[in-house]
Amino acid sequence: VDHLTVTITMCWSSGLASKPIMGFFLRVGQLLSTCVSFSLGVSLGIWEEGLGNWCVFVWCLCFAMSLIISIVELCGLQSRLPCSWDGFLHAYSSYFVIICIVTSFIFGTSYIQVFPPGPAQNRAIIATAFSCVAPLLYAIEVAWVCVRPGDMVCFVPTFPGVLRRLENYLACVIFAFISNTDLYQHQPALVWCVVVYSICFVLGAVNYFVNGCDCDNDKKLPLRIPLLLWLQTVLSVLLYITAVILWPLYQFHEKLGGQPQRSSDMSCSDQLTTIGCIWDQRLAVAILTAINLLVYVADMMYLILEAFV
């Protein structure tokens, strides 16, 4: 017991000695906001639905990541990691800003109006409020990582850098909609589209990490970045072309089992449901897929121009 006490005390003191108090309060706020959100969400039973599953998953993921980061910083372990810790904080916070905003919007618009006035609706409103606080705290952390003293210098991303971030941000929004498995489980071609979204997102995330998390630091991995960018971009364009064809074809073509008219979808009736209108979700994914394909094509065209100019 004595040894354990000494270890925890040393870990606590070494972490606080090197960690600004601003980061501590940010982390506590992130933990509190996400913990309250997923606790209230689970108490409402929303995890039984597709979109509710997404909301609970995002809140739990954000809570778990913030908790792990708090432990690492508290024990002063970040200096032993092979990658830039500030770059990692900047990257993960940037992504969590987007997915938390999307989650707050989905939960607020899909669930608050479902419950009648009373304790259940009050819990949904409180969960939405705390969920809206989370992206604000992550956005503050993005700015704080850049302005606090350290070895990392953040910079305004270039045009291709903005495109690559946008590719992954759009993928995060797509994932929010396809968390409702009723959209694609009945058709292998639609499952392939989900695989496409996942592959391209993973490739983009790997490229983001390999490129030093868009930050000027000395811990970028020693890989041939131009070759990796070419492979990732060209492959993503080819994969997204298949998705932009197959998704609307199998979702809206009647002969292939789709629903061409919104009125034919029973979930889109005037009666409020916790899962929302399935047809609207299908349309949203189709539009986002087309937009992301255009972003990938713009990224590829920029690489081509860069290679020949």
Mean pLDDT score of the chain: 78
Q: How is residue 8 annotated by DSSP?
A: H
Q: Residue 83: pLDDT above 70?
A: no
SS3 category, 61: helix
Q: How far apart are CA 34 and CA 130, in angstroms?
A: 7
For residues 36 and 128, membership in a common domain is answered with yes
Higher pLDDT pick, 81 / 125: 125
263 and 195 in a common domain: yes
State whether 106 and 213 are in the same domain: no
- Domain identity same for 195 and 261: yes
At residue 153 the predicted structure's pLDDT band, cuts being 50, 70 and 90, is low
Q: Provide the pLDDT for residue 216.
A: 44
Other CB atoms within 10 A of residue 10 CB: 12
- 139 and 186 assigned to the same domain: no
Residue 143 confidence class, pLDDT cut points 50, 70, 90: confident
With a CB cutoff of 8 Å and minimum separation 6, the contacts of 202 are: none
CA distance 47 to 108: 15
Residue 165 and residue 150 in one domain? no
Ranges 57-61, 95-99, 152-156, 261-265: which has the least confidence: 152-156
Q: What is the pLDDT at residue 260?
A: 78
Residue 21 has pLDDT above 50, yes or no: yes
Q: Indicate whether 142 and 197 sit together in one domain.
A: no
Same domain, 85 and 164: no
In three-state secondary structure terms, 187 is coil
Please check the confidence at residue 256 and state whether its pLDDT lies above 60.
yes
- The model's pLDDT over 202-255, given as tens digits with 9 standing for 90+, comes to 888 777 666 655 444 444 444 445 677 788 889 999 999 999 999 999 888 878
* Bigger pLDDT: 136 vs 157: 136
Residue 122 scores a pLDDT above 60 = yes
Which residues lie closer than 8 Å to 158 by C-beta, 6 or more apart?
none
My answer on whether 101 and 215 are in the same domain is no
pLDDT at 141 over 90: no
- Give the pLDDT confidence score for residue 221 in this predicted structure: 46
Please say which residue of 154, 171, 192 terminates a domain: 154
Tokens 């600004």 locate to 20
Average pLDDT over residues 13-19: 43
Domain endpoint, select from 154, 187, 207: 154
Question: What is the arithmetic mean of pLDDT over 89-102?
Answer: 84
Same-domain pairing of 134 and 218: no
285 and 177 part of one domain? yes
Cβ burial of 73 (10 Å; 0-12, 13-18, 19+) is buried
Angstrom distance (rounded) from CA 215 to CA 89: 11
Nearest partner of 163 among 13, 283, 31, 302, judged by Cα: 302
Q: Which of 63-77, 124-138, 207-221 has the lowest mean pLDDT?
A: 207-221
Rounded Cα distance, 245 and 181, in Å: 19
Q: Which of 41-50, 98-107, 124-133 has the lowest mean pLDDT?
A: 41-50
Average pLDDT (159-174) is 84
Domain count, the chain: 2
Which residues form the domain of 23? 1-154
303 in the same domain as 164:
yes
Of 90, 123, 154, which residue is a domain's last?
154
With beta carbons less than 8 A apart as the criterion, state whether 302 and 233 touch. Answer: no
Amino acid at 137: L
pLDDT of 73 > 90? The answer is no
> What mean pLDDT do residues 169-187 have?
83
